[in-house]
């Protein structure tokens, strides 16, 4: 498998070296997406290899050009190249030794920082030097329009002429022009339209991305969304709007619910950097899709037989994500999250199999297996002096068995785990599906001393009603609000309101999806009691969790300590 992109336009002169940067950037973006999409380890490993290989080819080209054209600051360039190569080697070694603990975020931060500084290599003196020596550069790189027989021996991959197509639909000419300028620097094939009619008259089926202004005089953006959905448009859609955030949110919902691929949105006036980031991720995404799977070859869903076999072979494993008291960063518990350890495909996240297990009535067996692993694990941790609570996710069908509370009690008694150490998490839809039975079981679970939590609060249909009916002891602010707290004032207002509501009802409030220090600080100010998120740790296997508890992964967390048993 070669992950090196081939859809970046050929170039000559100084642009040939900038083109190298674009290719490096595209490889890095694929790496970023491969992490986001939990792509297999072998793909990430291949990306490392490509990155190293392509970077060393590029360095050889740059060094050759700069040496032979007597560039004054060459030493600085060579130092930067060495730094990159040695850091990449270090990361690759780490990856080989500890694939499960690999610090992807640190690696990405390094790559992005390095690349930003290198692409700003389009800095005046460097660029000017190359321009002044254009003929020599062409000859050295073998890129002149009348190719000479000379070659450096180190060539970039052969480009093809299929640059991704970006179409921009905005009645403001200046906005279209701005987007066009930024997109051109990324090698996108861009066209702008000021009216939907013109856009439709030149409509092509193979558009990669569409930037769509919601407010246009003739046919507005919402009508275009409807129309694109009817045409079963596969392009990535970016919405832009100058209206308040609620209009944009509703249009986003509309686009997603009609099956369009929403890639992001921008509020006017937007910053060029925001636009650039979105377009870069689009270019990377498209390249990734080409490498991994075309839409026609979409990954098939797992079958009932796959899940049954995995259940029989014990491939579903409990992973643990820490929950910390925000006041003092003490570890108070873990959320138990299921992972499928597939013998060929590696670790598979729940989004790919829980709904299938539910469809074929296999979810009870699966969840029961996870609960048993977790309760057994909690006993072992208690023996080590780690006395924390477990939060477990329960699906609707489990409430069909009215003896669920008795069975859970029996399990915890077997492992000498106090009921108050177990939190049963249910979502609003679970409660809606099984109104009477869920109320019966959850009330009796509370009577037996277990805690009951309402998960993903605010995303269902009747949150308030459920809060009033069911004896919850905890409320979890949904991560979709927490993740956007820094950028979206409405998400922030909702998160604040849920926290206040939780306080008024005397519930423990847990925020999930804390990814940055600013959000953590804000949640602390709001007196949210407990938090969970990638800022602290991702869900981990039992051994990784113990290492996390014992050593340095939490050194970055201010004041981290274990709650004394
Ligand atoms: P959930 O119960 O809402 O779990 C929280 C999800 O948020 C987890 O995804 C977790 O990995 C993710 N998460 C936590 N912190 C962050 C963060 O900072 N950023 C981001 N982007 N995500 C974060 P996961 O593990 O993929 O689980 C997805 C859902 O699958 C769970 O949502 C739960 O509804 C379901 N699930 C997981 N395990 C089980 C199980 O054993 N039984 C049942 N019935 N459902 C399960
Ligand atoms: Mg949950
Ligand atoms: Mg949740």
- The CATH number assigned to the domain holding 248 equals 3.40.50.2300
Nearest ligand to the C-alpha of residue 363? 1
Nearest CA-CA partner of 289 in 79, 3, 500: 3
Q: 266 and 366 in one domain?
A: no
pLDDT digits (tens, 9 = 90+) for 131-154: 777 777 777 776 543 333 333 333
Q: 393 and 527 in one domain?
A: yes
Nearest ligand to the C-alpha of residue 423? 2
Q: 115 and 210 in one domain?
A: no
> Which of 102, 121, 152 marks a domain boundary?
152
Collapsing DSSP to helix, strand or coil, 238 comes out as strand
- Atom of ligand 1 at shortest distance to CA of 395? 44
Question: Which segments of 141-283 are extended strands (E)?
Answer: 165-169, 189-193, 209-213, 236-241, 261-267
Q: 480 and 425 in one domain?
A: yes
* Res 158 pLDDT > 50: no
HSE at residue 150, side-chain half, CA atoms within 13 A, is 13
**Quick check: 326 and 533 in contact, CB under 8 A?**
no
Any atom of ligand 1 within 6 Å of the Cβ of 534 = yes
With cut-offs at 50, 70 and 90, classify the pLDDT of residue 268. confident
Instruction: Tell me which residue range forms the domain holding 27.
Output: 13-152
* Res 561 pLDDT > 60: no
Q: Does residue 463 sit within a domain?
A: yes
Collapsing DSSP to helix, strand or coil, 191 comes out as strand
- Atom of ligand 1 at shortest distance to CA of 515? 18
Global pTM reads 0.60
Of all protein residues, the one whose alpha carbon is nearest to atom 21 of ligand 1 is 513
Any atom of ligand 1 within 6 Å of the Cβ of 513 = yes
Q: Does residue 204 or residue 307 have the better pLDDT?
A: 307
Q: 466 and 334 in one domain?
A: yes
Angle between helices 404-414 and 363-383 (to 10 degrees): 30
Q: Does residue 5 sit within a domain?
A: no
Of all protein residues, the one whose alpha carbon is nearest to atom 11 of ligand 1 is 539
Q: Does residue 175 or residue 18 have the better pLDDT?
A: 175
Q: Does residue 301 sit within a domain?
A: no
- Atom of ligand 1 at shortest distance to CA of 425? 2
pLDDT digits (tens, 9 = 90+) for 340-385: 999 988 999 999 999 999 999 999 999 999 999 999 999 999 998 9
Q: 328 and 430 in one domain?
A: yes
Paired residues of 511 in beta bridges: 477, 531
- CA 391 to ligand 2 center in whole angstroms: 7
Least trusted range by pLDDT, from 28-32, 463-467, 485-489: 28-32
Any atom of ligand 1 within 6 Å of the Cβ of 514 = yes
Report the distance separating Cα 539 and Cα 351, nearest Å: 14
pLDDT digits (tens, 9 = 90+) for 30-43: 676 666 655 556 66
Q: Does residue 565 sit within a domain?
A: no
Q: 205 and 177 in one domain?
A: yes
Residue 203 CB burial class (10 angstroms; 0-12, 13-18, ≥19)? middle
Q: 85 and 109 in one domain?
A: yes
Residue written as token pair 């080409």: 290
> Which of 152, 174, 195 marks a domain boundary?
152
Q: Does residue 35 sit within a domain?
A: yes
Q: 201 and 345 in one domain?
A: no
Q: 283 and 140 in one domain?
A: no
What pLDDT is recorded for position 121? 47
With cut-offs at 50, 70 and 90, classify the pLDDT of residue 311. very high
Q: Does residue 564 sit within a domain?
A: no
Q: Does residue 414 sit within a domain?
A: yes
Q: What is the CATH number of the domain that holds 51?
A: 1.20.120
Q: Does residue 6 sit within a domain?
A: no
Any atom of ligand 1 within 6 Å of the Cβ of 318 = no
Any atom of ligand 1 within 6 Å of the Cβ of 354 = yes
- CA 183 to ligand 1 center in whole angstroms: 36
Q: Which of 427, 479, 514, 515 to mutate to test the pocket of ligand 1 (most atoms within 8 A of CB)?
A: 479
Nearest ligand to the C-alpha of residue 458? 3
Number of domains in the chain: 3
> Which of 120, 152, 184 marks a domain boundary?
152
List the helix and strand counts (H, then E) for the chain. Answer: 22, 15
Report the distance separating Cα 140 and Cα 246, nearest Å: 55
Q: 251 and 113 in one domain?
A: no
Report the distance separating Cα 363 and Cα 422, nearest Å: 20
* Res 224 pLDDT > 70: yes
Q: What is the CATH number of the domain that holds 493?
A: 3.20.20.450
Q: 445 and 474 in one domain?
A: yes
Any atom of ligand 1 within 6 Å of the Cβ of 512 = yes
């Amino acid at each position: 498998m070669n992950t090196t992109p081939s859809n970046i336009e050929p170039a000559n002169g100084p642009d040939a070296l900038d083109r190298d940067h674009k290719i490096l950037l595209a490889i890095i973006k694929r790496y970023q997406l491969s992490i986001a999409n939990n792509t297999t380890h072998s793909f990430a490993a291949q990306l490392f290899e490509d990155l190293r290989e392509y970077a060393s080819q590029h360095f050889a080209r740059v060094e050759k050009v700069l040496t032979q054209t007597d560039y004054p600051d060459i030493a600085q360039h060579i130092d930067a190249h060495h730094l990159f190569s040695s850091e990449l080697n270090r990361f690759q070694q780490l990856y080989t030794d500890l694939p499960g603990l690999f610090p992807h975020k640190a690696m990405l931060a390094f790559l992005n920082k390095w690349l930003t500084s290198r692409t700003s290599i389009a800095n005046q003196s460097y660029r000017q030097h190359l321009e002044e020596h254009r003929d020599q550069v062409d000859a050295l790189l073998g890129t002149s329009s009348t190719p000479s027989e000379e070659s450096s021996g180190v060539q970039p991959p052969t480009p093809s002429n299929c640059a991704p197509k970006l179409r921009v639909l905005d009645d403001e000419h200046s906005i279209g022009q701005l987007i066009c300028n930024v997109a051109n620097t990324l090698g996108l094939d861009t066209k702008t339209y000021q009216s939907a009619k013109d856009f439709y008259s030149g409509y092509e089926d193979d558009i990669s991305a569409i930037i769509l202004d919601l407010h246009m005089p003739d046919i507005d953006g919402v009508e275009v969304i409807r129309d694109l959905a009817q045409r079963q448009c596969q392009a990535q859609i970016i919405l832009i709007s100058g209206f308040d955030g609620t209009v944009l949110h509703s249009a986003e919902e509309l686009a997603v619910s009609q099956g369009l691929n929403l890639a992001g949105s921008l509020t006017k006036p937007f910053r060029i950097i925001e636009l650039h980031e979105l377009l870069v991720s689009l270019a990377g995404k498209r390249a990734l899709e080409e490498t991994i799977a075309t839409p026609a070859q979409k990954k098939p869903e797992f079958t009932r037989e796959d899940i049954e076999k995995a259940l029989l072979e014990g491939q579903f494993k409990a992973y643990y994500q820490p929950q910390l008291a925000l006041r003092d960063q003490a570890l108070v518990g873990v959320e138990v999250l299921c992972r499928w350890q597939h013998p060929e495909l590696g670790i598979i996240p729940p989004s790919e199999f829980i709904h299938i297990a539910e469809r074929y009535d296999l979810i009870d067996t699966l969840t029961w297996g996870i609960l048993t692993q977790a309760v057994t694990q909690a006993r072992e941790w208690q023996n080590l002096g780690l006395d924390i609570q477990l939060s477990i996710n329960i699906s609707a069908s489990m409430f069909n068995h009215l003896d669920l509370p008795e069975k859970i009690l029996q399990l915890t008694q077997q492992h000498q785990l106090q009921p108050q150490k177990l939190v049963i998490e249910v979502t609003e839809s679970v409660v809606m599906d099984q109104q009477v039975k869920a109320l019966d079981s959850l009330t009796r679970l509370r009577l037996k001393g277990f805690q009951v939590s309402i998960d993903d609060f605010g995303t269902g249909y009747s949150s308030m009603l459920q809060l009033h009916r069911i004896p919850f002891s905890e409320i979890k602010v949904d991560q979709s609000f927490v993740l956007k707290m820094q950028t979206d004032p409405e998400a922030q207002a909702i998160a604040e309101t849920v926290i206040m509501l939780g306080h008024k009802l005397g519930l423990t409030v847990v925020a999930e999806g804390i990814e940055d220090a600013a959000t953590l600080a804000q949640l602390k100010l709001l007196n949210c009691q407990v938090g969970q998120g990638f800022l602290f740790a991702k869900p981990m296997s039992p051994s990784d969790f113990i290492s996390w508890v014992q050593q340095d992964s939490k050194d970055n967390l201010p004041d981290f300590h274990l709650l004394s048993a």
